[in-house]
Amino acid sequence: MSTILQRVPLGFQWPTVDPFLFCVHHLDEYPIGNELLGPAASLDGREIGSDFEARDGWRMYHGHEVPGFPQHPHRGFETVTYVRQGLVDHSDSLGAAARYGRGDVQWLTAGSGIVHAEMFPLLESQRPNPAELFQIWVNLARADKMADPFFTMLWAEDIPHLIIDREGRRHGEITVIAGTLEGLAPPPPPPDSWASRVDSDLAIWHVVLQPGGSWIMPAATSTETVRMAYLFAGSGADFDQDRLLSATGAHVRSDRPVTVKADPDSPDEVQILILQGRPISEPVAQYGPFVMNDRAGIEQAFADYRQTGFGGWPWHRDDPTHGHEPLRFARRPDGLIETPSRSQEPAESG
């Protein structure tokens, strides 16, 4: 029986399955930055405010001066943002802020409603500012859709990595963002996340294999688990005897261990994102930034947003950035400051 059950080509937005709603891989070769933390390059010919064309290898997205996504609302699901290169400046309607990247993950439960901005500041003024990140949307169960908004920082220093060594040779490395793998457990997700349920079997693994390197992907813990593998870098890999080529996603069997082997003849490493989980199996109604269970829930989300603004926007502009220093930090709504190198402490006054 085939290990790969279905193949799908990877465009800008990758196809997902329940409990995942959305996955996109942002890869932008930004030039040097200017004093405003935007690109020191002409923006002529770009559709500013909605620039997704990757002209010259980068996009402004919805940004006008700084690339990124100025304030916008969410309700009813979660965003998981895994940043491999560059930095993201987060600001939200609760007054919280963060600058994170270089391997960090932010896991944000929108729940009953939050407005946030995600900007990509270009801090380097003497060299290019490459940026690479994944944003993954995870659905919330009906019982948790109106949970209080909450975000968790998974700092790179705290995220475990499984090193695959065999017979004195390095085969690869796996970043364990969610879901225990060979005894390695990442920091916990937010409390109302589907991933916080023991029986969700939710996992997010970033797999890097050297040419000819192999890894035995374990069987899922639930017979209901659905597993997707996205091969986004490298020429190809074998899943048991089934071949998966570059820029292709696959629905992969999860009921038994699967040997994943990178192409031995390629000079480049293979990179694969694994998303798996037990489906929530509830109706999904989505309209833009809101994900509920029915049309009435969507209409109520719009009505609530018009009336309350999900707490309003406490920032002086729609696209805040957090200065020219590269320090990674998170300031929570209660004023506590968190960084990768020190525990939480009260915010400084002023």
pTM equals 0.95
The C-alpha atoms of residue 298 and residue 289 are separated, in whole angstroms, by: 10
Q: Report the distance separating Cα 145 and Cα 291, nearest Å.
A: 9
Q: What is the pLDDT of residue 342?
A: 58
Strands 248-252 and 4-9: antiparallel
Q: By CB neighbour count within 10 A (0-12 exposed, 13-18 middle, 19+ buried), where does 92 fall? A: buried
CA angle 74-138-329, nearest 5°?
A: 70
The pLDDT tens digits along the chain (350 residues) read 799 999 999 999 999 999 999 999 999 999 999 999 999 999 999 999 999 999 999 999 999 999 999 999 999 999 999 999 999 999 999 999 999 999 999 999 999 999 999 999 999 999 999 999 999 999 999 999 999 999 999 999 999 999 999 888 889 999 999 999 999 999 999 999 999 999 999 999 999 999 999 999 999 999 999 999 999 999 999 999 999 999 999 999 999 999 999 999 888 999 999 999 999 999 999 999 999 999 999 999 999 999 999 999 999 999 999 999 999 999 999 999 999 975 444 444 32
List the Cα angle 137/311/64 in 5-degree steps: 65
